[in-house]
């Protein structure tokens, strides 16, 4: 059986791969805001002020991203993160730079919004704590 004919059968594993890759990048967005890692926030390389909206978003990204990484409580966490990204897009990108994501710098926020919305319906995939718990 060749890879072309077998490819569709790998969809569940690729769902897990997508979840893991998205979570790692999402965590990095949060650690930039909270810990200035791997670099601080523009323009000065600092961190978000504690309890500010940016700080709360960063905490959602770190904690929610970590839960997504291991695939624990994936559906509800992904739904919350999808909402966070919708708020980020419309409040910070569209409000300042117009509707189009390629113009307002909101491509990542818009894409994360829909990727997390998908995970809220599809679940974590087989490589997850949810799968071990029988909740994937």
> pLDDT tens-digit profile of 40-99?
999 999 999 999 999 999 999 999 999 999 999 999 999 999 999 999 999 999 999 999
Domain annotation covers residue 132: no
Domain annotation covers residue 130: no
Domain annotation covers residue 25: yes
* Prediction pTM value: 0.94
For residue 83, give its domain range. Answer: 3-124
Q: What is the pLDDT of residues 66-82, one digit of tens each?
A: 999 999 999 999 999 99
With tokens 């087989």, the residue in question is 126
Domain annotation covers residue 129: no
Number of domains forming the structure of the chain? 1
Domain annotation covers residue 104: yes
Quote the CA–CA distance of 18 and 111 in Å, as a whole number.
Answer: 13
For the chain, the farthest-separated pair of C-alpha atoms sits apart, in whole angstroms, at 56
Domain annotation covers residue 30: yes
Domain annotation covers residue 9: yes
Within a 10 A sphere around the Cβ of 23, how many other Cβ atoms?
25
Report the C-alpha dihedral over residues 100, 64, 75, 133, rounded to 10 degrees.
160
Domain annotation covers residue 78: yes
């Amino acid at each position: 059986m060749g890879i072309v004919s077998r490819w569709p059968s790998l969809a569940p594993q690729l769902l897990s791969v997508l979840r893991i890759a998205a979570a790692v990048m999402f965590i990095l967005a949060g650690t930039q805001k909270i810990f200035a890692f791997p670099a601080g926030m523009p323009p000065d390389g600092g961190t978000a002020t504690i309890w500010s909206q940016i700080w709360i978003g960063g905490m959602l990204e770190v904690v929610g991203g970590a839960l997504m990484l291991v695939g624990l409580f994936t559906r509800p966490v992904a739904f919350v993160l999808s909402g966070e990204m919708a708020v980020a897009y419309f409040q910070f990108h569209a409000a300042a730079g117009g509707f189009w994501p390629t113009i307002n710098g909101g491509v990542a926020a818009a894409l994360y919004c829909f990727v997390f919305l998908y995970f809220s319906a599809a679940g974590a995939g087989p490589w997850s704590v949810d799968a071990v718990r029988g909740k994937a």
